[in-house]
Amino acid sequence: MTLPADMIGGLRFAAIDFESAGAARGETDQPVQIGIAACPSLEGEPELWTSYISTDKPVLWSASQVHGITTEMLADAPSFPSLWPAIRSRLGDAVVVGHNPATERKFLRRFPGHGFGPWLDTLALGKMCVPGLPDYSLSTLCDSLGLTPSVDALLPGRRWHDALYDALGSLLVVRFLVRELKLSSQPLEVLGRALGK
| pLDDT tens by residue, 61-109 | 888 888 989 889 899 999 999 999 999 999 999 999 999 999 999 999 9
Nearest to 140, CA basis, from 108, 103, 166, 105: 166
**pLDDT at res. 197:** 52
Crossing angle of the two packed helices 163-180 and 122-129, in degrees rounded to 10: 40
| pLDDT tens by residue, 169-194 | 999 999 999 999 999 999 999 887 77
Nearest to 49, CA basis, from 98, 80, 19, 16: 16
